[in-house]
């Protein structure tokens, strides 16, 4: 697989995440730390799926644990502040990209049973190629969360 787009998406995310003064979401959604914890959880889960495929197992992907507020709070509490959390997300994204870079055509085409929710809405419930699961991070997932972070900054400016 080629991870140029995914690495680029993460670079933009990290540039935004390093900015100061994030506020709370106006709609009661996630704050900056929760967004970062969610990304860390998703990346670790997808890396585990990819390694499972390489090992010969047939894992599935279910993003519900990465949406669970208790789990997000646990991840946040395991870090010594936002900078530490960002560093861990960066490290996990690098690991995921490094794994994906080494996936051959056969491994990347293995169908992964996937269950994806967003805001309690079912987004996907069907098998998809491992490559599509990873590419979806670059095409949609990371940019959406980068925009969420930017929106939290807008919220700070509007409330100043």
Tell me, what's the pLDDT at 90? Answer: 98
Tell me, what's the pLDDT at 28? Answer: 86
The Cα–Cα gap between 145 and 38 comes to: 9
Q: Return the structure tokens found at 46.
A: 């997808």
Domain range 4-158, CATH architecture: Up-down Bundle (1.20)
Taking CA atoms, 125 is separated from 28, 61, 129, in Å, by 27, 10, 13
Kind plus residue range of the DSSP H or E element containing 104: none
**Do 159 and 26 meet the contact criterion of CB atoms below 8 Å apart?**
no
The Cα–Cα gap between 94 and 21 comes to: 26
Mean pLDDT of 138-148: 97
Per-residue pLDDT tens for 15-67?
999 998 898 888 889 999 999 999 999 999 999 999 999 999 999 999 999 99
Packed helices 142-158 and 4-17: angle between N→C axes, nearest 10 degrees: 20
Tell me, what's the pLDDT at 150? Answer: 95
pLDDT surpassing 90 at residue 160: no
Tell me, what's the pLDDT at 136? Answer: 96
CA nearest 53: which of 128, 115, 136?
128
Residues 6+ apart with CB under 8 A from 146: 9, 12, 13, 16
Mean pLDDT of 9-15: 98
Q: How many alpha carbons fall within 13 Å on the CB side of residue 123? A: 15
Q: Note the pTM of the prediction, 2 decimals.
A: 0.94
């Amino acid at each position: 697989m080629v991870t140029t787009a995914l690495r680029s998406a993460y670079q933009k995310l990290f540039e935004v995440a390093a900015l100061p003064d994030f506020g709370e979401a106006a709609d009661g959604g996630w704050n900056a730390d929760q967004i970062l914890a969610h990304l860390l959880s998703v990346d670790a889960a997808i890396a585990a799926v990819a390694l499972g495929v390489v090992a010969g197992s047939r894992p599935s992907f279910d993003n519900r644990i990465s949406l669970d507020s208790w789990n997000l709070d646990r991840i946040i509490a395991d870090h010594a502040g936002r900078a530490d959390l960002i560093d861990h997300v960066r490290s996990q994204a690098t690991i995921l990209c490094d794994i994906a870079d080494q996936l051959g055509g056969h491994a990347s085409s293995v169908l992964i049973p996937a269950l994806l929710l967003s805001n309690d809405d079912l987004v996907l419930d069907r098998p998809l190629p491992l490559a599509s699961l990873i590419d979806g991070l670059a095409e949609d997932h990371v940019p959406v969360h980068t925009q969420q972070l930017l929106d939290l900054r807008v919220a700070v400016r509007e409330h100043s």
